[in-house]
Structure formats: structure tokens, C-alpha cells
Structure 1
Amino acid sequence: MKRTTVTRSMLSMAAAAVLVLAGLAAPATADPPTADPPTGGCLADRLTRLSTLRHRLDELALNGLAGNSQYWYVDHRRCTLAIATLRGAADPVTSAFLHTARMLPAPVEITELGAPVTTRVARRPAASPDTRAATGFHGGSTLYSGLTGTVFICTAGFNGYRANTTGTAGHCARDAPTWYDGTGTLIGTVDESRFPGADWAVIPAAEGLDLTSDILDGDSTTTITGFARPRLDDRVCGTGATSGTRCGTIDATDVTVNYPEGPVTGLVRSTQSGTAGDSGGPVHTGHTGVALISGGPPEGAPTFLQPLNF
């Protein structure tokens, strides 16, 4: 017979979750959930309940009390709060987190995932530098944290979102401050970044570096003429150092992702696929840049994106 051992730390975390639950519980006078809204969208009172619940779950996550819950967001099409958790997760902290979601007067849908959501940085042995002369540094190019030994690999975002800078994911900056291209040319050192909470980093261009106003896009380049925020149902394409160019549709906004390093709020979810090494890559619709690649399952879809709001 299989025996499950509950450690003192697990009990302590569960007890902490219960205390938070007590403070977050809805008042006894709260109205019951409303009926399904018309096709035009969520009724205002239901949307308010859903948004309140999402913020309360965010608070639990910030206190390390989300357990194996992976991400959650308000599904405006179905007028529910969608929560994704690891399949079979039944530890006390995850159970308490899901209990919070179920006990409040808001409709909740819980799905189970076969793999955890992680950031998409790669770590590999350094390759020999490309000896070809660089003619300009494009968005979507591979970034390396060093030239010898084992290095982190990410992807450059958009050049010029902030003047004379390129960008990448914030978790890449957490792994290494200084980045190079495939020729061994210094791209720059991170000046400003945020992760967790958000997932972005700004890299001022090294002296003499020619930043182009385009991004690598399959076998060609796409000129970026402006920037905007991603919107629900946008058709987007993103470039990653490992995956190349992958396209999809924005199917959720204002998503909280519970990464192992801590929760990140305000992300969007795309149906495009990806893998390790794509972190920080530029995502665009037409000639408009809208986001940077943040993370997802180890392989495949969905992909979570950091909007250009920093």
C-alpha cells in the first residue's frame, strides 16, 4: 500500500493558506452567481466577482501559497475564472488554493496539465563563434550569456522600443547581466529589468553596435514600424532562437503565471508553440510589435507573452 508522508513544512504551508482563506472568504451576504450572460459578454456583476477572485488568487501566489497551480485568468468568452494546475496535484497547499477558488461566489473551471509551465531560457555548452562579419543586429537574434563553458541562451526582442536599446525577457537578465551575439560581439549589459512580477529587460546597445529596426521572421526580416498592446483574438507571430518563427492567436489576456521563481501577472496567452531558448523573442502582428516571449510548457503550446507596457 502506497503511503503519503506529510511533512511539518507542508502542514505549516497548508495552515498558512487556511489563515489567508479566512481573510479572503466572501461575506455571508454575497449574492449567488448570476445566470449565464448573453452572447454579447459577461454581465457586469459577474465580471466584478471574477476579477475580485483573480486578485485574491494573485495575493495567495505572492505569498507562496499557489502550490502546483500553474496559471489563471478571467475567461471573458465563457464568463468564468480558468485555472490550470498540474495533473494529480493534491498537496495541501494546492488543495487550499483551489478551495479558495471554489468557495467564493464566482464560476470556476479547473483544467489539469501534464507538464509544468516554465520560462524558456536554454542552457547549453558554448559553440564556436560565427566568424562572419555582422552587418547589423536584428531583433529576434540569438543572445548568449558568454563565450566559453556553459552559457544561457535567450532571444533579443525589439530594437528601439526604448531608444538605442534592445530587449529580452526579465528572467534572462536574472540569469546573466551581459549578452553577446553569435559572432562574439558584445550586445550590451542589462540596465533595467523585472522578474518575477513582470518579465522584461532593457539592454542598452554597446558602443558602435548597429541596431536594425526589423526582426528576423522566418527566412527574411520584417520591419517594425510601431508598437502596441496585444488584444484578444489578435493573430500574432513570434521569433525564438530555438523555434524560429511560430504563429498563433491571442486567446487570453491578463493571465497570472505561477513560475517556480514567483508569479508574473498581466501576461497574455497565445496558441503558438515554442521551447527553451525562445525567451525574450519579439512577437508582432503585421509590422506592429506587441509582446516578448516569456514561457510555456517545456515543448509546444501555449506560449505566454509579456506585453509591451514597460
Structure 2
Amino acid sequence: MKHSKPNRSLLPLVVAVAAISCGSAMAADEVSPVLKAAMQRDMGVNAQQMSQYLKTERVSQSQEASAQRQLGAGYAGSWIERKADGSFVFVAATAGAKALAIPGVELRRVRYSLSRLQSSMSQLDSSAQRRVLGISKLYSGVHSWHVDPTSNSVVVTFSPGASEEAIDLVAASGADVATVRFVESADKPSLVATIRGGMLYGFSPGATLGCSVGIPARRSGIAGYATAGHCGSVGTRVYVGNSTLGSFTHSNFPGTDRAYVQVSTAHTVLPEITDHNGGVVPVRGSVEAAIGAAVCRSGYRTGYRCGSITGKNVTVNYQEGTVRGLTQSSACAGKGDSGGAWITPAGQAQGVTSGGNVGADGTNCSLPTSQVRMYFDRLNPILSQYGLTLMTR
């Protein structure tokens, strides 16, 4: 197997674009001013583009299932894409022979179906699960792997000088080499733990370091919040200032990176995310956003930052263990933001911060957006696994 340049496998376009209905789309003036300001700052979205983006986001939510049905076995994924002129479009890809027009959707013909890409992804994951710490080869130079519909490939990232490790990992897994795209990256992901973000919580009275309060939720009628599993194990007590905040009642890491902290009744938990500038962003729901969608995150180290979703179902090979099913984003963060909340412009909570390619200074916010890779564990699986009810306004 040879190490080749990125293979996007995108064939000539098969385009079927229809007018986007905006009757039920959220208007730009319904979006939190805090979110609009953050998107304008971090993503260069002006008022007109914001309105057009929200229409496209609505199309992605209403037409993704339809695209999967109509494209059948040839379905190769979908995403929100930003054009060179700053406008947005919802794209669905197909590896099938035929494709009917889908209202509001741009269709593209590609080489591999999503099921074929997912098969390679599953083989890589299965191979990683079979490895035993201290016995098996752990491929420490390999950062992550995930299905990327925008390039129609399974992207495997690795450190400079570790190309043979990446190749060996793929070969050992039995994954379809033709579907793999190797990407060299100098930025090795690490957990953004041992400090805190969002609303600050620590691990001893008066602590100034810890992890981030994540998404507000209830379990059996008692309030708490979802956060990162690597922040603490079941039974770990946490504090806000000198007061006991609560304790971890559920925690999973590695494999996944999720946890739930039950909060003492002495405190009030609100369905809001702090913007670290005197404002809050209300939580409206937990509808999962598409690849390419705008998303923002809150953490005490770097504040409130926005970017877009750049990958889903990513497996990240942290030094501390492999985590599967993460979502990747270009919204920057730093150590101290672990467990913090991710939310869309429409107030749809997305997940909790896991890790990313933070540098020696503890953040990746000085990197160009194209080089930022942050990962969060998805909220809806956390709610389902732990029997939580999302708190909304």
C-alpha cells in the first residue's frame, strides 16, 4: 500500500437545485444577538449571509432523510457547504447511477457510497478496540480517523514522520485502502482537561482549575449537566468557589467521553450557556446539525468561540485512550474548556468538549481556522444513555 496525496474522488457534478422555501425557516432576527456577533467575528458571516445560512440549515434538517431515501444504497452523505461568494448550499452526494432532483438540494456524484466508507471506518474502529494497552501496538503517531463525505473518503490523520504507522494501521485493520485519504498534521490531539470552562467548576474548595459546565439536563427530576467523562469518575465531587456544587453520577472514558454531574439543590441550574461577556445563549433543543453547519462553544479558558462542523463519527486516538463517535469542528478552544457546551445559532445544543489539537500555549485559537480541529461528544446519545431530559427555555 502506498501513501498517496489526498484523493477526493469527486467526479463531475450532477446538479439538481430548486428554490429553497423559507416559510418555516428561522429568521435572522430570531437568532440570539450574542450568537450573531460571535458568528460574524469568527466566521465572517454578515447579516444577509446569516439569513441565507439559516434557510439552508432548515433545508438540511428537512431534506436529509429524503435524500437518504431517494438515493438509497448509493447515498454518500450530506453537508452544508459555503461557496466562494459566502453563500451556503445543502449538498447530498450519491455513488448511484441515477439521481432524481430533490428540492433545495445540490446533488453531486462521487465514487464511494456512505455504506462503503462506513465499512472501512468500522474496520479501523474494530482494530483499535482489539488493541491492549501495554501489549498491542498503539500507533501513537496516528491522531484520528473519520468518514468525511465532503472528500468522499475515510480521513486518517498522523504526525510528521508517522506515515508508516498510519499505513500499517489501515493495513492491519483490513479496511478498503481505496477509500482512505491520509493527512499529515503536526498538531497531535490532547484532552483539554485539568482546568474548566463554560461556568467554572473545580475539584476542591476555592479551586481555580477544573473543567467546564456543559449542557443543562435533569435526571429523575433533579438538575445537573452533561460534561466530559475524562474530567472525573463516578463519585468525584465538584465545587463552585468554596461551595460543593455536586458530584459525578455517570462517567465514561475512553470509548466515549461523556459524564453527568448532579447538582446540589442549593444551586439553581438554568437552560442557558454563558458567552463570557455578560450575556447568555438560551438552549432551545438538541436537533443535530449537519456537516458544514455553524456551531459555537463556551469554555472558561477561551470564552465563546464559533466555527463549523467539519466531520462526524470521528474516532480520536488520544494518548489516554481511543474515543469513538465524536464530532469535529473548526471552533477553537484550549485546556480548561473540557466538558463545555456546544450550541448552534438556533439554540440547538450539540454536545460537550472532548479535546483537540491544542498547542504548547494550551489553545489552538492562534491557528488559522482551517487548521483547527476540536472534538465534542454528541449530546443526544448522552441524554439517551444516562436517561436525561434536556433543560430548555
Unaligned 5+ segments in structure 2 are 1-6, 14-91, 97-111, 132-136, 365-371, 383-393
Instruction: Provide the residue aligned with 2:353 in structure 1.
Output: 293
Q: Give the deviation of 1:38 after TM superposition.
A: 5.4
Instruction: Provide the residue aligned with 1:89 in structure 2.
Output: 162
Specify the code of the residue in structure 2 equivalent to 1:188.
G
Instruction: Provide the residue aligned with 1:168 in structure 2.
Output: 227
Distance 1:292 1:113, change over 3 A: same
Aligned ranges 1:69-108 → 2 under 5 Å: 69-89=142-162, 94-100=166-172, 104-108=176-180
Please list every run of at least 4 consecutive aligned residues from structure 1 whose deviation after the TM superposition is greater than 3 angstroms. 35-40, 98-103
Distance 1:294 1:230, change over 3 A: farther
Instruction: Provide the residue aligned with 2:211 in structure 1.
Output: 154
Distance 1:166 1:250, change over 3 A: same
1:120 to 192, 197, 212: 192
More strand by share: 1
Instruction: Provide the residue aligned with 1:217 in structure 2.
Output: 275
Q: Give the deviation of 1:77 after TM superposition.
A: 1.4
Secondary structure in 1 aligned to 2:307? strand
Distance 1:89 1:176, change over 3 A: farther
Equivalent pair of 1:42/1:79 in contact (CA under 8 Å): no
Equivalent pair of 2:274/2:281 in contact (CA under 8 Å): yes
Secondary structure in 2 aligned to 1:207? coil
Instruction: Provide the residue aligned with 1:194 in structure 2.
Output: 252
Equivalent pair of 1:254/1:265 in contact (CA under 8 Å): yes
Equivalent pair of 1:190/1:204 in contact (CA under 8 Å): yes
Equivalent pair of 2:192/2:335 in contact (CA under 8 Å): yes
Q: Give the deviation of 1:266 after TM superposition.
A: 0.9
Q: Give the deviation of 1:230 after TM superposition.
A: 3.5
Which deviations, in whole Å up to 9, do the C-alpha atoms of 1:62-114 show, x marking residues without a partner?
233450211111111121111101111267x5552043479735322111121
1:41 aligns with 2:93: yes
2:316 to 257, 264, 283: 257
Equivalent pair of 1:81/1:106 in contact (CA under 8 Å): no
Instruction: Provide the residue aligned with 2:289 in structure 1.
Output: 230
1:248 to 307, 311, 323: 307
Structure 2 CA distance for aligned equivalents of residues 306 and 188 of structure 1: 22
**Kindly, what percent of the aligned residue pairs are identical?**
25
Distance 1:288 1:47, change over 3 A: closer
Structure 2 CA distance for aligned equivalents of residues 261 and 72 of structure 1: 16
Secondary structure in 1 aligned to 2:216? coil
Q: Give the deviation of 1:122 after TM superposition.
A: 2.9
Distance 1:282 1:160, change over 3 A: same
1:272 to 331, 334, 349: 331
Secondary structure in 2 aligned to 1:56? helix
Which deviations, in whole Å up to 9, do the C-alpha atoms of 1:126-158 show, x marking residues without a partner?
xxxxxxxxxxxxx9201111137x875110002
**Root-mean-square deviation (CA), in Å?**
2.7
TM-score normalised by the chain length of structure 1? 0.76
TM-score normalised by the chain length of structure 2? 0.61
Instruction: Provide the residue aligned with 1:20 in structure 2.
Output: none
More helix by share: 2
Specify the code of the residue in structure 1 equivalent to 2:343.
H
Distance 1:191 1:100, change over 3 A: same
Q: Give the deviation of 1:283 after TM superposition.
A: 0.6
Equivalent pair of 2:205/2:244 in contact (CA under 8 Å): no
Equivalent pair of 2:120/2:179 in contact (CA under 8 Å): no
Structure 1 CA distance for aligned equivalents of residues 175 and 273 of structure 2: 47
Structure 2 CA distance for aligned equivalents of residues 145 and 86 of structure 1: 33
Using the TM superposition, name which of 164-173 and 42-51 deviates more.
Answer: 42-51
Instruction: Provide the residue aligned with 1:61 in structure 2.
Output: 128
Q: Give the deviation of 1:42 after TM superposition.
A: 4.1
Distance 1:102 1:166, change over 3 A: closer
Unaligned 5+ segments in structure 1 are 1-32, 125-138
Instruction: Provide the residue aligned with 1:18 in structure 2.
Output: none
Structure 2 CA distance for aligned equivalents of residues 99 and 105 of structure 1: 8
Equivalent pair of 1:198/1:306 in contact (CA under 8 Å): yes
Structure 1 CA distance for aligned equivalents of residues 153 and 349 of structure 2: 30
Equivalent pair of 2:276/2:300 in contact (CA under 8 Å): no
Secondary structure in 2 aligned to 1:41? strand
Distance 1:288 1:81, change over 3 A: same
How many residues end up aligned between the 2 structures? 260
Equivalent pair of 2:157/2:185 in contact (CA under 8 Å): yes
Secondary structure in 2 aligned to 1:146? coil
Secondary structure in 2 aligned to 1:191? strand
